[in-house]
Protein backbone atom coordinates (compact mmCIF):
# COMPACT_ATOMS: atom_id res chain seq x y z
CA UNK A 1 0.00 0.00 0.00
CA UNK A 2 1.46 3.34 -0.96
CA UNK A 3 0.44 6.87 -1.76
CA UNK A 4 0.00 10.22 -0.06
CA UNK A 5 -2.79 10.99 2.38
CA UNK A 6 -5.76 8.85 3.35
CA UNK A 7 -7.71 6.92 0.75
CA UNK A 8 -10.94 8.78 -0.02
CA UNK A 9 -14.02 7.60 -1.87
CA UNK A 10 -13.12 5.68 -5.01
CA UNK A 11 -9.50 5.43 -3.88
CA UNK A 12 -10.62 3.00 -1.19
CA UNK A 13 -11.63 0.48 -3.84
CA UNK A 14 -8.09 -0.22 -5.10
CA UNK A 15 -5.20 -1.90 -3.26
CA UNK A 16 -1.63 -2.16 -4.46
CA UNK A 17 -0.83 -5.87 -4.45
CA UNK A 18 2.47 -7.66 -4.99
CA UNK A 19 2.60 -11.42 -5.58
CA UNK A 20 5.66 -13.55 -4.87
CA UNK A 21 7.08 -10.58 -3.03
CA UNK A 22 9.75 -10.11 -0.37
CA UNK A 23 10.23 -7.49 2.33
CA UNK A 24 13.66 -6.73 3.73
CA UNK A 25 14.12 -5.28 7.21
CA UNK A 26 17.18 -3.56 8.62
CA UNK A 27 17.45 -1.96 12.08
CA UNK A 28 13.72 -2.33 12.60
CA UNK A 29 12.80 -0.48 9.41
CA UNK A 30 11.69 -1.59 5.97
CA UNK A 31 14.71 -1.55 3.68
CA UNK A 32 13.48 -3.46 0.63
CA UNK A 33 10.20 -4.24 -1.12
CA UNK A 34 10.28 -6.29 -4.29
CA UNK A 35 10.06 -9.68 -5.91
CA UNK A 36 11.28 -12.68 -3.97
CA UNK A 37 13.64 -13.55 -6.84
CA UNK A 38 15.40 -10.21 -6.35
CA UNK A 39 15.90 -10.93 -2.67
CA UNK A 40 17.61 -14.30 -3.15
CA UNK A 41 21.00 -12.64 -3.44
CA UNK A 42 20.62 -10.81 -0.11
CA UNK A 43 22.27 -11.97 3.09
CA UNK A 44 19.82 -12.18 6.00
CA UNK A 45 20.36 -13.23 9.60
CA UNK A 46 16.74 -14.33 9.89
CA UNK A 47 14.40 -15.46 7.12
CA UNK A 48 10.66 -15.85 7.66
CA UNK A 49 8.98 -18.01 5.04
CA UNK A 50 5.57 -16.50 4.25
CA UNK A 51 4.93 -18.66 1.21
CA UNK A 52 1.19 -19.10 0.67
CA UNK A 53 0.37 -16.45 3.28
CA UNK A 54 -0.90 -12.88 3.21
CA UNK A 55 1.42 -10.07 4.35
CA UNK A 56 0.00 -6.66 5.29
CA UNK A 57 0.82 -3.58 7.35
CA UNK A 58 0.07 -3.84 11.05
CA UNK A 59 -3.55 -2.97 11.82
CA UNK A 60 -4.45 0.37 13.41
CA UNK A 61 -7.29 0.72 15.95
CA UNK A 62 -8.10 4.45 16.15
CA UNK A 63 -10.86 4.52 18.81
CA UNK A 64 -10.64 2.55 22.07
CA UNK A 65 -11.41 3.06 25.75
CA UNK A 66 -8.48 0.93 26.87
CA UNK A 67 -8.13 1.94 30.52
CA UNK A 68 -10.97 1.09 32.90
CA UNK A 69 -11.77 -1.11 35.89
CA UNK A 70 -14.40 -3.79 36.28
CA UNK A 71 -16.72 -5.23 33.66
CA UNK A 72 -20.45 -5.22 32.96
CA UNK A 73 -21.40 -8.71 31.87
CA UNK A 74 -24.35 -8.70 34.31
CA UNK A 75 -26.00 -6.00 32.19
CA UNK A 76 -26.26 -8.29 29.16
CA UNK A 77 -29.15 -10.24 30.68
CA UNK A 78 -30.92 -7.01 31.56
CA UNK A 79 -30.58 -5.80 27.99
CA UNK A 80 -31.96 -9.12 26.73
CA UNK A 81 -34.96 -8.61 29.01
CA UNK A 82 -35.57 -5.22 27.45
CA UNK A 83 -34.63 -3.19 30.52
CA UNK A 84 -34.03 0.39 29.31
CA UNK A 85 -30.56 1.88 29.74
CA UNK A 86 -31.86 4.59 32.08
CA UNK A 87 -33.29 1.88 34.33
CA UNK A 88 -29.93 0.09 34.28
CA UNK A 89 -28.37 3.38 35.36
CA UNK A 90 -30.84 3.66 38.25
CA UNK A 91 -29.84 0.16 39.36
CA UNK A 92 -26.21 1.26 39.57
CA UNK A 93 -25.13 0.00 36.16
CA UNK A 94 -24.19 1.67 32.90
CA UNK A 95 -21.23 3.97 32.41
CA UNK A 96 -21.44 5.27 35.97
CA UNK A 97 -20.70 1.78 37.34
CA UNK A 98 -17.49 1.76 35.30
CA UNK A 99 -16.72 5.26 36.55
CA UNK A 100 -17.10 4.16 40.17
CA UNK A 101 -14.92 1.08 39.63
CA UNK A 102 -12.25 3.10 37.84
CA UNK A 103 -12.20 5.74 40.55
CA UNK A 104 -11.65 3.06 43.19
CA UNK A 105 -8.93 1.20 41.29
CA UNK A 106 -5.27 1.95 41.84
CA UNK A 107 -3.05 3.02 38.98
CA UNK A 108 -1.28 -0.33 39.19
CA UNK A 109 -4.56 -2.23 38.91
CA UNK A 110 -5.59 -0.17 35.90
CA UNK A 111 -2.18 -0.70 34.32
CA UNK A 112 -2.32 -4.47 34.73
CA UNK A 113 -5.79 -4.71 33.23
CA UNK A 114 -5.03 -2.34 30.35
CA UNK A 115 -1.86 -4.26 29.49
CA UNK A 116 -3.86 -7.49 29.37
CA UNK A 117 -6.25 -6.01 26.82
CA UNK A 118 -3.44 -4.38 24.83
CA UNK A 119 -1.56 -7.68 24.63
CA UNK A 120 -4.71 -9.26 23.23
CA UNK A 121 -5.07 -6.49 20.61
CA UNK A 122 -1.50 -7.14 19.54
CA UNK A 123 -2.26 -10.84 19.20
CA UNK A 124 -4.97 -9.91 16.66
CA UNK A 125 -2.47 -8.01 14.51
CA UNK A 126 -3.03 -4.49 15.87
CA UNK A 127 0.25 -2.59 16.16
CA UNK A 128 -1.03 0.98 16.73
CA UNK A 129 -3.85 1.92 19.12
CA UNK A 130 -5.59 5.09 20.27
CA UNK A 131 -6.61 5.04 23.96
CA UNK A 132 -9.08 7.43 25.61
CA UNK A 133 -9.67 8.40 29.20
CA UNK A 134 -13.26 9.17 30.20
CA UNK A 135 -14.09 6.78 33.02
CA UNK A 136 -13.02 9.16 35.76
CA UNK A 137 -15.14 12.26 35.22
CA UNK A 138 -13.04 13.86 37.94
CA UNK A 139 -9.55 15.33 37.99
CA UNK A 140 -7.67 12.59 39.81
CA UNK A 141 -9.09 9.62 37.92
CA UNK A 142 -8.85 11.18 34.47
CA UNK A 143 -5.18 11.92 35.09
CA UNK A 144 -4.71 8.41 36.52
CA UNK A 145 -6.07 6.88 33.31
CA UNK A 146 -3.85 9.05 31.13
CA UNK A 147 -0.78 8.21 33.19
CA UNK A 148 -1.48 4.51 32.68
CA UNK A 149 -1.55 5.10 28.92
CA UNK A 150 1.75 6.96 29.13
CA UNK A 151 3.37 4.07 31.03
CA UNK A 152 2.21 1.69 28.33
CA UNK A 153 3.41 4.09 25.64
CA UNK A 154 6.87 4.00 27.15
CA UNK A 155 7.26 0.23 27.30
CA UNK A 156 4.75 -1.79 25.31
CA UNK A 157 5.48 -2.83 21.71
CA UNK A 158 2.17 -1.37 20.51
CA UNK A 159 2.33 2.32 19.64
CA UNK A 160 -0.24 4.13 21.80
CA UNK A 161 -1.82 7.50 21.05
CA UNK A 162 -3.54 9.15 24.00
CA UNK A 163 -6.83 11.09 23.99
CA UNK A 164 -8.38 13.06 26.86
CA UNK A 165 -12.11 12.29 26.99
CA UNK A 166 -13.00 13.90 30.29
CA UNK A 167 -16.23 15.06 28.64
CA UNK A 168 -17.48 11.50 28.19
CA UNK A 169 -20.63 11.87 30.31
CA UNK A 170 -22.17 14.16 32.88
CA UNK A 171 -21.47 12.87 36.41
CA UNK A 172 -24.47 12.86 38.78
CA UNK A 173 -23.01 15.64 40.90
CA UNK A 174 -23.07 17.96 37.85
CA UNK A 175 -26.41 16.85 36.42
CA UNK A 176 -27.88 20.35 36.76
CA UNK A 177 -24.79 22.31 35.80
CA UNK A 178 -22.90 20.50 33.00
CA UNK A 179 -21.17 23.72 31.93
CA UNK A 180 -19.40 23.85 35.29
CA UNK A 181 -18.27 20.27 34.74
CA UNK A 182 -16.84 21.13 31.32
CA UNK A 183 -14.94 24.06 32.83
CA UNK A 184 -13.56 21.69 35.43
CA UNK A 185 -12.32 19.33 32.72
CA UNK A 186 -10.78 22.21 30.76
CA UNK A 187 -8.74 23.15 33.81
CA UNK A 188 -6.94 19.82 33.47
CA UNK A 189 -5.49 20.71 30.08
CA UNK A 190 -2.48 22.57 31.46
CA UNK A 191 -1.46 19.57 33.56
CA UNK A 192 -2.10 17.18 30.67
CA UNK A 193 0.03 19.33 28.40
CA UNK A 194 2.82 19.76 30.95
CA UNK A 195 3.07 16.01 31.59
CA UNK A 196 2.52 15.14 27.89
CA UNK A 197 -0.38 12.88 28.78
CA UNK A 198 -2.49 13.34 25.62
CA UNK A 199 -2.34 14.86 22.17
CA UNK A 200 -6.08 14.75 21.42
CA UNK A 201 -9.16 16.07 23.22
CA UNK A 202 -12.54 14.43 22.59
CA UNK A 203 -16.15 15.04 23.69
CA UNK A 204 -19.39 13.06 23.49
CA UNK A 205 -21.71 15.27 21.46
CA UNK A 206 -25.12 13.63 21.74
CA UNK A 207 -28.65 14.16 23.00
CA UNK A 208 -28.62 13.77 26.77
CA UNK A 209 -24.87 14.33 26.99
CA UNK A 210 -23.28 17.49 25.52
CA UNK A 211 -24.87 19.82 22.99
CA UNK A 212 -23.29 21.05 19.77
CA UNK A 213 -22.79 24.47 21.38
CA UNK A 214 -21.13 22.99 24.46
CA UNK A 215 -18.98 20.76 22.29
CA UNK A 216 -17.90 23.64 20.07
CA UNK A 217 -16.87 25.77 23.04
CA UNK A 218 -15.05 22.89 24.74
CA UNK A 219 -13.10 21.81 21.67
CA UNK A 220 -12.24 25.37 20.64
CA UNK A 221 -10.73 25.86 24.09
CA UNK A 222 -8.72 22.66 23.65
CA UNK A 223 -7.52 23.76 20.21
CA UNK A 224 -6.42 27.10 21.64
CA UNK A 225 -4.14 25.12 23.97
CA UNK A 226 -2.57 23.30 21.02
CA UNK A 227 -4.47 20.01 21.16
CA UNK A 228 -5.92 18.29 18.12
CA UNK A 229 -9.55 17.35 18.52
CA UNK A 230 -11.92 14.46 17.89
CA UNK A 231 -15.67 14.13 18.38
CA UNK A 232 -18.03 11.34 19.40
CA UNK A 233 -20.67 12.54 16.96
CA UNK A 234 -24.23 11.64 15.94
CA UNK A 235 -24.15 8.16 17.44
CA UNK A 236 -27.92 8.11 17.88
CA UNK A 237 -29.46 11.25 16.42
CA UNK A 238 -28.39 13.69 13.68
CA UNK A 239 -27.57 16.34 16.25
CA UNK A 240 -24.98 18.10 14.09
CA UNK A 241 -21.79 16.68 15.55
CA UNK A 242 -20.55 15.62 12.13
CA UNK A 243 -20.96 19.13 10.78
CA UNK A 244 -19.22 20.49 13.88
CA UNK A 245 -16.28 18.14 13.36
CA UNK A 246 -15.78 19.53 9.85
CA UNK A 247 -16.23 23.11 11.04
CA UNK A 248 -13.51 22.70 13.67
CA UNK A 249 -11.16 20.72 11.45
CA UNK A 250 -11.35 17.71 13.76
CA UNK A 251 -8.94 14.93 12.87
CA UNK A 252 -11.80 12.44 13.12
CA UNK A 253 -15.53 12.26 13.67
CA UNK A 254 -16.51 8.98 15.29
CA UNK A 255 -19.66 6.78 15.40
CA UNK A 256 -21.84 8.71 12.86
CA UNK A 257 -24.72 6.22 12.89
CA UNK A 258 -27.16 9.14 12.81
CA UNK A 259 -25.12 11.45 10.58
CA UNK A 260 -27.31 13.56 8.28
CA UNK A 261 -27.02 13.79 4.50
CA UNK A 262 -25.57 17.27 4.92
CA UNK A 263 -23.09 16.00 7.50
CA UNK A 264 -21.92 13.26 5.13
CA UNK A 265 -21.57 15.74 2.25
CA UNK A 266 -19.49 18.09 4.41
CA UNK A 267 -17.38 15.22 5.67
CA UNK A 268 -16.61 14.18 2.10
CA UNK A 269 -15.38 17.68 1.31
CA UNK A 270 -13.06 17.82 4.31
CA UNK A 271 -9.92 16.23 5.72
CA UNK A 272 -11.81 14.81 8.73
CA UNK A 273 -11.77 11.01 8.84
CA UNK A 274 -15.04 9.16 9.48
CA UNK A 275 -14.30 6.51 12.12
CA UNK A 276 -17.08 3.92 12.09
CA UNK A 277 -17.73 1.54 14.99
CA UNK A 278 -20.05 -1.27 13.88
CA UNK A 279 -19.24 -3.36 16.94
CA UNK A 280 -21.27 -0.94 19.05
CA UNK A 281 -24.42 -1.26 16.94
CA UNK A 282 -23.93 -5.04 16.86
CA UNK A 283 -23.48 -5.48 20.61
CA UNK A 284 -26.37 -3.18 21.50
CA UNK A 285 -28.66 -5.09 19.14
CA UNK A 286 -29.34 -2.11 16.92
CA UNK A 287 -30.65 -2.49 13.40
CA UNK A 288 -29.17 0.81 12.30
CA UNK A 289 -25.52 1.12 11.31
CA UNK A 290 -23.45 4.00 9.99
CA UNK A 291 -24.01 4.65 6.29
CA UNK A 292 -20.56 3.66 5.10
CA UNK A 293 -21.63 3.19 1.49
CA UNK A 294 -23.03 6.71 1.23
CA UNK A 295 -19.93 8.13 2.89
CA UNK A 296 -17.56 6.35 0.53
CA UNK A 297 -19.61 7.14 -2.55
CA UNK A 298 -19.68 10.79 -1.48
CA UNK A 299 -15.88 10.80 -1.34
CA UNK A 300 -15.15 10.58 2.40
CA UNK A 301 -12.22 8.77 3.99
CA UNK A 302 -13.61 5.99 6.20
CA UNK A 303 -11.80 4.17 9.00
CA UNK A 304 -12.92 1.31 11.25
CA UNK A 305 -12.34 0.67 14.93
CA UNK A 306 -13.38 -1.69 17.70
CA UNK A 307 -14.55 1.05 20.12
CA UNK A 308 -13.28 -1.40 22.75
CA UNK A 309 -15.05 -0.56 26.01
CA UNK A 310 -16.87 -2.45 28.79
CA UNK A 311 -20.37 -1.24 28.05
CA UNK A 312 -21.16 -1.17 24.34
CA UNK A 313 -18.35 -2.98 22.51
CA UNK A 314 -16.38 -5.37 24.72
CA UNK A 315 -14.06 -6.77 22.05
CA UNK A 316 -10.39 -6.32 21.22
CA UNK A 317 -10.81 -8.18 17.92
CA UNK A 318 -10.45 -5.76 15.02
CA UNK A 319 -10.65 -8.71 12.62
CA UNK A 320 -14.24 -9.29 13.75
CA UNK A 321 -15.00 -5.62 13.10
CA UNK A 322 -13.71 -6.15 9.56
CA UNK A 323 -16.32 -8.90 9.13
CA UNK A 324 -19.06 -6.65 10.51
CA UNK A 325 -17.99 -3.97 8.05
CA UNK A 326 -18.57 -6.41 5.22
CA UNK A 327 -21.86 -7.76 6.52
CA UNK A 328 -23.47 -4.67 8.07
CA UNK A 329 -21.76 -1.70 6.44
CA UNK A 330 -21.63 -3.36 3.00
CA UNK A 331 -17.99 -2.45 2.54
CA UNK A 332 -15.93 -4.43 0.04
CA UNK A 333 -12.63 -6.05 1.12
CA UNK A 334 -10.47 -3.36 -0.48
CA UNK A 335 -12.32 -0.63 1.40
CA UNK A 336 -12.09 -2.56 4.65
CA UNK A 337 -8.32 -2.94 4.42
CA UNK A 338 -7.87 0.78 3.78
CA UNK A 339 -10.14 1.45 6.77
CA UNK A 340 -8.02 -0.58 9.25
CA UNK A 341 -4.63 0.52 7.98
CA UNK A 342 -3.88 3.81 6.22
CA UNK A 343 -7.14 5.63 6.99
CA UNK A 344 -7.14 4.50 10.60
CA UNK A 345 -3.58 5.81 10.89
CA UNK A 346 -4.58 9.23 9.55
CA UNK A 347 -7.47 9.28 12.03
CA UNK A 348 -4.89 9.52 14.81
CA UNK A 349 -2.27 11.65 13.03
CA UNK A 350 -0.04 8.68 12.27
CA UNK A 351 -0.57 8.54 8.53
CA UNK A 352 3.11 9.15 7.82
CA UNK A 353 4.25 6.45 10.24
CA UNK A 354 1.77 3.58 10.26
CA UNK A 355 -0.72 1.80 8.05
CA UNK A 356 1.47 1.24 4.98
CA UNK A 357 4.44 -0.89 4.03
CA UNK A 358 6.90 1.75 2.83
CA UNK A 359 10.68 1.76 2.64
CA UNK A 360 12.12 3.72 5.57
CA UNK A 361 9.15 3.20 7.90
CA UNK A 362 9.08 1.00 10.98
CA UNK A 363 8.54 -2.62 10.00
CA UNK A 364 5.08 -3.09 11.51
CA UNK A 365 3.95 -6.15 9.58
CA UNK A 366 1.42 -8.96 9.97
CA UNK A 367 1.71 -12.36 8.32
CA UNK A 368 -1.69 -14.03 8.03
CA UNK A 369 -2.77 -17.63 7.62
CA UNK A 370 -4.93 -16.59 4.70
CA UNK A 371 -4.64 -17.14 0.94
CA UNK A 372 -5.72 -13.60 0.04
CA UNK A 373 -6.91 -10.33 1.57
CA UNK A 374 -10.63 -11.07 1.03
CA UNK A 375 -10.37 -14.15 3.24
CA UNK A 376 -9.96 -12.25 6.53
CA UNK A 377 -13.39 -10.50 6.61
CA UNK A 378 -15.00 -13.57 5.01
CA UNK A 379 -13.92 -16.16 7.60
CA UNK A 380 -15.19 -14.49 10.74
CA UNK A 381 -14.81 -15.04 14.47
CA UNK A 382 -11.30 -16.52 14.53
CA UNK A 383 -7.79 -15.12 14.71
CA UNK A 384 -6.00 -15.42 11.36
CA UNK A 385 -2.67 -14.03 12.61
CA UNK A 386 0.39 -16.16 12.02
CA UNK A 387 3.13 -13.70 12.97
CA UNK A 388 3.30 -10.05 14.04
CA UNK A 389 6.43 -7.97 13.66
CA UNK A 390 6.68 -4.68 15.49
CA UNK A 391 9.57 -2.47 14.41
CA UNK A 392 11.09 -5.56 12.81
CA UNK A 393 10.90 -7.70 15.94
CA UNK A 394 8.70 -10.77 16.12
CA UNK A 395 6.30 -10.07 19.00
CA UNK A 396 3.56 -12.60 18.22
CA UNK A 397 3.93 -16.04 16.70
CA UNK A 398 1.21 -18.46 15.63
CA UNK A 399 -0.77 -19.68 18.59
CA UNK A 400 1.23 -17.63 21.06
CA UNK A 401 1.27 -13.99 22.08
CA UNK A 402 4.46 -12.84 23.78
CA UNK A 403 3.07 -12.85 27.32
CA UNK A 404 6.45 -12.05 28.85
CA UNK A 405 6.62 -8.49 27.53
CA UNK A 406 7.99 -6.33 30.34
CA UNK A 407 6.62 -2.83 30.81
CA UNK A 408 7.68 -0.53 33.63
> pLDDT of 174-220, one tens digit each?
999 999 999 999 999 999 999 999 999 999 999 989 999 999 999 99
Q: Which residues pair with 367 in a beta bridge?
A: 55, 387
Beta-sheet pairing, 400-401 with 393-397: antiparallel
The larger pLDDT score, comparing residue 189 to residue 44, is at 189
Average pLDDT over residues 273-277: 98
Average pLDDT over residues 128-156: 98
The larger pLDDT score, comparing residue 287 to residue 92, is at 287
Looking at residue 86, its pLDDT comes to 65
Burial class (CB in 10 A: 0-12, 13-18, 19+), 293: middle
* pTM of this structure: 0.95
Looking at residue 406, its pLDDT comes to 40
User: What distance in Å separates the CA atoms of residue 168 and residue 154, rounded to the nearest whole number?
Assistant: 26
With a cut of 50, say whether residue 404 has pLDDT above it. Answer: no
Average pLDDT over residues 116-133: 98
The larger pLDDT score, comparing residue 40 to residue 194, is at 194
CA angle 42, 48, 50 (to 5 degrees): 110
The larger pLDDT score, comparing residue 3 to residue 36, is at 36
The model's confidence at residue 227, banded by pLDDT at 50, 70 and 90, is very high
Whether residue 338 contacts residue 12, with contact meaning beta carbons closer than 8 Å, is answered with yes
With a cut of 60, say whether residue 400 has pLDDT above it. Answer: no
Burial class (CB in 10 A: 0-12, 13-18, 19+), 52: exposed
With a cut of 70, say whether residue 18 has pLDDT above it. Answer: yes
The overall average pLDDT reported for the chain is 94
Looking at residue 39, its pLDDT comes to 86
Among candidate residues 69, 206, 207, the one with its CA nearest the CA of residue 133: 69
Looking at residue 280, its pLDDT comes to 95
With a cut of 70, say whether residue 40 has pLDDT above it. Answer: yes
Looking at residue 22, its pLDDT comes to 95
Average pLDDT over residues 357-383: 97
Judged by average pLDDT, the poorest of 78-92, 129-143, 225-239 is 78-92
Looking at residue 21, its pLDDT comes to 93
For every residue of 92-132, DSSP letters joined together read: T-SHHHHHHHHHHS-HHHHHHHHHHHHHHHHHTTEEEEEEE
The model's confidence at residue 33, banded by pLDDT at 50, 70 and 90, is very high
Looking at residue 226, its pLDDT comes to 98
The model's confidence at residue 118, banded by pLDDT at 50, 70 and 90, is very high
Looking at residue 3, its pLDDT comes to 55
Looking at residue 405, its pLDDT comes to 43
* 297-342 confidence digits (pLDDT tens): 999 999 999 999 999 999 999 999 999 999 999 999 999 999 999 9
Pick left, alpha or beta for residue 184 (phi over 0 → left; psi -120 to 50 → alpha; otherwise beta): alpha
Looking at residue 84, its pLDDT comes to 80
* High-pLDDT (> 90) share of the chain, %: 88
Amino acid sequence: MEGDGPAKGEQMKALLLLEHAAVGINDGKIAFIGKSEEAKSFHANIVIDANGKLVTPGLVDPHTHLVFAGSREHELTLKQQGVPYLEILKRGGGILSTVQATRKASEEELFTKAKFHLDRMLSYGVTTVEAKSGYGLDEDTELKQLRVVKRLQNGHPVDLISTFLGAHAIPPEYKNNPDDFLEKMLRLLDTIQKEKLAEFVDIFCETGVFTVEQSRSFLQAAKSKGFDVKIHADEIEPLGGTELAVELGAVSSDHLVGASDDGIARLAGSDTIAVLLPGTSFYLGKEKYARAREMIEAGAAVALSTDFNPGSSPTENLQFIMSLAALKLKMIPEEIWHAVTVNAAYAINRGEEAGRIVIGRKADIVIWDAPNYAYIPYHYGVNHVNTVLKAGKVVVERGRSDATISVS
